A and B are shown apart, each in its own frame.
Chain A
Amino acid sequence: NAGVTQTPKFQVLKTGQSMTLQCAQDMNHEYMSWYRQDPGMGLRLIHYSVGAGITDQGEVPNGYNVSRSTTEDFPLRLLSAAPSQTSVYFCASNGGAATNQKKAFFGQGTRLTVV
């Protein structure tokens, strides 16, 4: 059972570089989200998607883009990396509107350092 797969697990970027964090799920979940986690801050929602072709901003969207061309994939793009984007990034999915499908499944996280 693959669940939610994130790549890469670790990444170091120079300021100004761009990159894409990959996220894929094989559970046919409607909803997918990206979070960042910083010490003492908990998980903060960056962007989310309620289905293919539909995305929306979360709490901290600036500096990030997303797209959802398929149900399975939800990549997160850093347009021009900044040291403030050093964080641990988690991708999550959940089944959608049915009450028993709302629990979130997480990828293993991407530890990003911007120097």
Chain B
Amino acid sequence: RKEVEQDPGPFNVPEGATVAFNCTYSNSASQSFFWYRQDCRKEPKLLMSVYSSGNEDGRFTAQLNRASQYISLLIRDSKLSDSATYLCVVNEAGGFKTIFGAGTRLFVKA
């Protein structure tokens, strides 16, 4: 079993749609959680951290369920510029290792 698993993509949605990505992790001792965005042929960049209480950043909402070892990302009112690969990222206890999911590709179409 992979340490971090994500929904297989790609997701094809029209502009204005709401789309949700899911992610599960296997190490219950994991401490920090993030969503990264990666554009084609570029390096990953931090989109947002994920907190147990849930957090929102504009059109983006992240949720963490430690009991189920589950992370989600919700994008509302999708824009063409949201087209990218979204990576679920888990940082193990002590911060020694950062593990990435395989990513979910999103295509937003006009």
Contact = CB atoms under 8 A, between A and B. Distances in A.
Interface residues of A, number: 28
Contacts of A41: 102
Contacts of B43: 90, 106-109
B19 interface: no
Interface stretch (B59-67, B74-82, B90-98): B90-98
Contacts of A50: 96
Interface stretch (A11-19, A75-83, A91-99): A91-99
A102 B103 contact: no
Contact of A99 (B31, B45, B99): B31
Given A90-B44, A103-B34, A108-B43, A35 B97 contact: no
B101 A96 contact: no
Given A43-B44, A99-B32, A108-B43, A92 B98 contact: yes
Given A48-B97, A107-B43, A43 B87 contact: yes
A45 B97 contact: yes
